[in-house]
Chain A
């Protein structure tokens, strides 16, 4: 009797969270799955069931394929640099030799609390008139290149904005990881004659590996969903050079009025992000270090 009561009370306590999860995650996912099997245009009150046609057509859609390539380039660039630079900053700001640590920590974290829309507008101005104008002041206007107008460079320019935006967040996570390393392990290394570099590379970094792995997973998952920055700064252009997968989905569903087709692309994106995340998790679990 007591265990049944415990089960009911557990269920009752979990019910609100389950309800929210169902409404905001399960139901949209199920709706998206259903719509991906139809030709709904986002407006009509009825639609036709088309089976897996949308999924098959996407594989032959050059714009879909190119958006995946753009997204992977963007995600690789952003993830690598965000985690690497976040790690460097975390190591530096964890050292007591650095002055004004609280101020610097806050300054690096501040971009993360700003909305992506605002920073996109600011950086559009910087990449456009500001940098060109600054070079003009020193008579070097002719050396200015196009940050957002060059199709080969634009995606990396957007990546710089994303890196700047999210860097502080991963820095904070890594700083927490560094703080969690027991001091006696580091002291033992010092006693054994390890200098700063040895302690960093042979003690701190290996013990920090799981945290670095978590940061890489979060950064990758976030950058694979890139939308606001390409949407505001370049509208996916020039051409399709910054059309990420999320932007392709938005364009297809809302601009081209192919909602079913867009839902199918979104499910491909979900599967892709899950695959990447699972792969990263396996690597992290394999590379974990115990002490």
Chain B
């Protein structure tokens, strides 16, 4: 913690075992995306016009795709974006799209389209009544915001849309009983799979699903409250699913609670790899956060709440660890005093995202 241990930057680096590359992250509450080398030095940065909603990442053409918060139609819900922007290496805008209710996640697909999550404000009493679970009476200013997954072509035309109210049986996945009813159900991940199917993850009902792109039906799901909500669900090259299990709202109270990074086999939903802190309380972020499987089999983890990015081997040895020195030192509505990070990404120097731009 900053008070007791004010160290920031690279805390440890095992050069033989860590995966060399550049790490990209955008501190929440600050208006910059940073690309750092393995020593923690900033080698490139992009200045952003407002808060991110909620991150940025590099495309294979080396451009940065980011979501920036707009103030229009601001529903005052966490992680609202609204303005998707593609910047070139020098910060020039080369593409943009405005959808004020866009939030959390967005991805460029190989065909050039872009897919993202957006809210839909529901005030129809019948629809609100059909939304299951959560704390009674705890709607958001008389409304519930439900999720739509939207795919647009480069010109911004909607080419595919999936609406949780119309396309899913919500009764199968009620909001957790201790959570409010502001949203059904706070999607925080939209991750296209290689075959075009789409993984969506919701936090408030502890549910992740794979949507068949053609039929819009759910072809796989995982719903287990013991993970304590999750983020950054993704399919690995081996077909398994990797995600960050936050460990919030766990039923047990004891010294051995915390976050986990979990790899499951979707055929059985059995865990094939789990990373936990040792002791467990040394690794905990009850919201945001992410994970990335690296080429050599290591995993880069973003412990978002603490602004801590670290890489572990399959044997769970920490081989690189960095604490963000970028604290919000002004009055911010949500993040004052924090160095919080939603997600981070590592790119090798010979990756298409970096190649030729940095040594």
Q: Do A and B come from one complex?
A: no
